[in-house]
Amino acid sequence: MKPLHRMIVLSSTYRMVSSGGHAIDRRAGGINPPIRTTRAASPAVEAASPAVEIGGLTPPARRNQHVDPDNRYLWRMNSRRMEAEIVRDSVLATSGALDISPGGPETPESEGQTVFRRSLYFRLTPNEKMKLLELFDAADPNQCYRRRESVVPQQSLALFNSGLAIDRARALAATLSAEAAASGEPGGEAGFVVTAFESVLSRAPTNEERIACERFLTEHTELLQHPTRTPFAGTGGAKRPPAPDPRQRARENLLLVLYNHNDFVTIR
Amino acid sequence: MQHPFPCGRINRRAFLADSGMGFTGLALGAMLHQDGIARADEPTAVPPLTKGGPGGVVGQPHDAPRAKSVIWFFMLGGTSHLESFDPKPALDQYAGKTIDESPYKGAVVDSPFYRKNVRDFAGVPRDLMPTLYPTQVAFRKRGMSGIEVSDWWPHVGGCIDDIAVIRSMWTTDNDHAAQLQFHTGRHIFDGFYPSIGSWVHYGLGSAGNNLPQFVVMGQPPGDCCGGVGTHDGSYLGPEHSGVELALDPAAPLPFGTPGNTVTVEERRSQLDLLERLNQLAGVEYPADAALRARVKAYELAFRMQMSVPEVVRLEDETAETHNLYGLNDPAAGTVARQSLVARRLVERGVRFVQIYHGGGGGGSWDAHSNLKDNHQKMCAQVDRPIAGLLKDLQRRGLLDETLVVWATEFGRTPGSERSNGRDHHPYGFSVWMAGGGLKGGLVHGATDDLGFHAVEHRHYVTDVHATLLHQLGLDPRRLAVPGQKRLDIDYGEPIHEIIG
């Protein structure tokens, strides 16, 4: 199987970007020249070139979008949403908390918010499912069918409101601030934004993103100093209190936003 | 640090995506323009709809609607038509005899309808259950119309004058994936297609309030039988899928609150940043349905978390209303709460409320044995709440604009399954509809003397879809998306005889 896998993942078809049908290498900071697929595609479907872009799509990509909206001829990569276990594990891994020790007895699903083992090791039976995983279309323990990739508001609530997400964002903010202070190059809010993007989304922010986030940190710090505010009802699942310093709390809240970013759960 | 756009200028891609149609409307708006598809949602500049012509008014139905909302009860597992809405005295008369020994020999297996359309999951036809099994419950005439309803449905029977019973349904799946088929119109072998609720959501769009417009309660079918495919948007996109709602006012939605260490103001500010960041990162993906859906989902999630607890807080209702639905009845309590929440949802403008009963695995109505115990128990869970809902809608003047559907994936065999139960039966079965401008106190269609084949006014499941779409003012043939072919059978025909 390995040579086959190698052939698939090294093919130009597999390496195309999900946006417009050309190969991309973000590390190089730009878009590579177009790569025509070796697979015999429909003559109507062209390999896209990044020449002139309108509304985010190159003209060939726009034509392809019209001819083959479902991407049957693989003129671009399909975007996928992370599977449930990967969503949870990634929140933990990016905040440095994932326990990767292998094996051992299964962990009760009720401890999914507080025990940081890989999601794989939690109990999953017809009656005992971790809600967080279930919301992101975890596998049915009884049956062997294809998983679905739903997008529902409850997933948004889970990533914004779960104790896991809130606690990990707060913890990661503390770590990043401490690291910046220890390095002797605090870097200010701009430096924090870059580190935050790299930690959570594994990429640097674009200029526009960085500006938006810096403005958020400033305005949010002011907001948090405002005396009249309305707390949400209930106790929620978070165990870790927010930072008392408004500036640090704004950083925590920025990280939680990044955990909710579309790019966090999407594989391009 | 690289600084490609000095002075804080935005790049051209971002500008073009931001301007004009706006982010979420971009790809879809363009597609709608070029294909002239009528669909209601974002207030894009789709030209006004003229009857019979292309185009569409946003948020407007195709024709004058008679109904605004649908409440859709679905019994999972297969409710016996023979013990609910389709009495067959011949079963008692020839009980214990085989079909061949009865005068109806030939009427069953020689019928052109026998196995004509049925595609069996296992690949081999299900056995014919030849030994006729007597009706397990008495029927009596009810209401002014005198329609016979079984004694397991006394409360629904009491509302029969508001109900149009359809006794001539048929479907093509002889196994529980007929649950999926009833909602999508397609056999599971054909794959997954948009569910009826998602078509309504697609056609009428959001009324722009704080609640999801397609709400699902109860446990959905097991994955064997379509799973959440029965309320899924399929190729319409995930934003048209049903939103599952729980009844607990403290937590109607999982993760419904971040807790009191977080304030509403800071969350609002976070959401604004999130939307901006998704917008910036999404410039390269104007046609990404999942991204579009996720952006919407966050806004809706925030509004939902503020307004849903109020909807499921049933203490606001009087004790008399609680009693009407059977809220304190141990058997009926769950469906009673779901039904009352359903009324509160449609009062607040929600378009489609889908309530599953008996979910999980093949479904709890699946009485291969112990049919009497099973159906008695299952009916007691739903009869009073559904009737309570009909009465409550009626007295509030909501029944005219709310169409209530009661359905199940198939009926049960006239013959016994070599025991005290009945097998699956897709050849003829009953459903009913009420309100929303339909006639009441009416029986439409008929099965043969054994209750085997639907023989008069035969209706495939999509005729139910077409009927409710018609009442909502939507023309199924104009509900389409580019690149997705629909078949004649997908559209169905409205059941004109029951339309008032």
Tens of pLDDT along A55-104? 556 777 778 878 887 788 888 888 889 999 999 999 999 999 999 999 99
Interatomic CA distance for residues B210 and B48, integer angstroms: 26
Quick one: closest CA in B to A191, which residue?
B1
Burial environment of residue B123 by CB neighbours within 10 A (0 to 12, 13 to 18, 19 or more): exposed
**pLDDT value of position B155:** 98
Residue among A155, A125, A140 nearest A260 (CA): A155
- Which of B13, B239, B273 lies at the smallest CB-CB distance from A151? B239
User: Measured at the alpha carbon of residue B466, what is the angle toward residues B462 and B472, in degrees to the nearest 5?
Assistant: 145
Give the distance from residue B451's alpha carbon to the nearest chain A alpha carbon, in angstroms.
Answer: 35
Interface of B with A in 411-470 (CB under 8 A): none
Confidence of residue A144 (pLDDT cuts 50, 70, 90): low
What residues 207-246 of chain B have any CB closer than 8 A to a CB of chain A? 212, 222-224, 227-228, 232, 238-239, 241, 243-244
At A20, the pLDDT band (50, 70, 90 cuts) reads: low
Identify which has the larger pLDDT, B206 or B384. Answer: B384
Chain A residues with CB under 8 Å of B5 CB are: 207-208
Q: A237 CA to chain B: closest CA distance, Å?
A: 7
- Give the highest mean pLDDT range of A42-46, A109-113, A122-126, B30-34: A109-113
pLDDT tier at B82, thresholds 50, 70, 90 = very high
Q: Within 10 Å of residue B267's Cβ, how many Cβ atoms?
A: 20
Per-residue pLDDT reduced to its tens digit, B165-211: 999 999 999 999 999 999 999 999 888 899 999 999 999 875 556 88
Shortest CA gap B259–chain A (Å): 4
Rounded Cα distance, B86 and B108, in Å:
17
Helices (H), chain A: 2-10, 59-67, 84-94, 131-135, 153-161, 163-182, 188-201, 207-225, 246-259, 262-265
Where do the domains of chain B lie?
A: 69-247+312-498
Mean pLDDT of A113-139: 86
pLDDT of residue A221: 95
pLDDT at res. B291: 86
Give the type of residue at B290. Answer: A
Identify the pLDDT of residue B368. Answer: 96
The SS3 of residue B33 is helix
**pLDDT band, very low/low/confident/very high, at B149 (cuts 50, 70, 90):** very high
Distance CA B224, CA A185 (A): 57
- Report residue B5's pLDDT band, with 50, 70 and 90 as the boundaries: very low
Distance CA A209, CA A227 (A): 29
Can you name the residues that pair with B454 across neighbouring β-strands? Answer: B447
The residues, ordered by sequence, that sit 6+ positions from A222 with a Cβ below 8 Å of its Cβ are none
The pLDDT score that the predictor gives to residue A41 is 37
CB-based contact A156 B298, cutoff 8 Å: yes
Residues in chain B: 500
User: CA-based Rg of chain A, rounded to a whole angstrom?
Assistant: 21
Tokens of B36: 């002239």
Q: Which two tokens stand for residue B399?
A: 């029944």
Check CB contact of B204 with chain A, cutoff 8 Å: no
pLDDT of residue B2: 44
Q: ipTM for the complex?
A: 0.85
Collapsing DSSP to helix, strand or coil, A120 comes out as helix
The pLDDT of residue B41: 38
Pair of tokens at residue B130 = 């030849």
Nearest residue of B to residue A29, measured between CA atoms: B2
Count the helix, strand and coil residues of chain B and give each as a percent rounded to the nearest 5.
Answer: 35, 15, 50
Give dist(CA B426, CA B172) in Å, integer: 6
Q: Is B256 on the interface with A (CB under 8 A)?
A: yes
> What phi, psi does B255 have (nearest 5°)?
60, 40
Question: CB-based burial of residue A147 (10 Å sphere; 0-12 exposed, 13-18 middle, 19+ buried)?
Answer: middle
Q: Which of B17, B228, B294 sits opposite A56 (nearest CB)?
A: B17
Q: Is the pLDDT of residue B54 over 70?
A: no
For A163, the token pair is: 């104790």
Q: What is the pLDDT of residue B407?
A: 98
Among A55, A156, A220, select the one facing B286 at the smallest CB separation.
A55
Of B222, B265, B284, the CB nearest to A56: B284
Residue B73 DSSP one-character state: E
Q: Which two tokens stand for residue B127?
A: 């056995």
Asked whether residue A45 carries a pLDDT value surpassing 90, the answer given is no
Report the pLDDT value the prediction gives residue A22, as an integer from 0 to 100: 53
Of residues B434 and B229, more confidence is placed in B434
How far apart are the C-alpha atoms of A41 and A47, rounded to whole Å? 9
Between B449 and A129, residue with greater pLDDT: B449
pLDDT at B278 > cutoff 60: yes
Q: Please tell me the distance from the alpha carbon of residue A20 to that of residue A48, in angstroms, as a whole number.
A: 6
Amino acid at B488: D
Q: What angle do CA B309, B313, B316 make, to 5 degrees?
A: 135
Q: State the residue for tokens 């998983």.
A: A147
Mean per-residue pLDDT, B407-425? 95
Residue B313's SS3 state is coil
The confidence score (pLDDT) of residue B85 equals: 98
In 3-state terms, what secondary structure has residue B455? strand
Cα separations in angstroms, B2 against A53, A198, B9: 21, 16, 14
pLDDT of the residue at B391: 98
For A185-219, what is each residue's pLDDT tens digit? Answer: 767 889 999 999 999 999 999 999 999 999 999 99
Distance (Å, rounded) from C-alpha B231 to C-alpha B241? 6
> pLDDT tens, B461-474?
999 999 999 999 99
- In three-state secondary structure terms, B411 is strand
Question: Is some CB atom of chain A closer than 8 A to the CB atom of B14?
Answer: yes
The domain B69-247+312-498 having CATH identifier 3.40.720: the answer here is: yes
Mean pLDDT rounded to a whole number for chain B: 85
A56 within 8 A of B16, measured Cβ to Cβ: yes
* CA separation, residue B435 to residues A208, B66, B71, B240, B297 (Å): 54, 10, 10, 25, 32
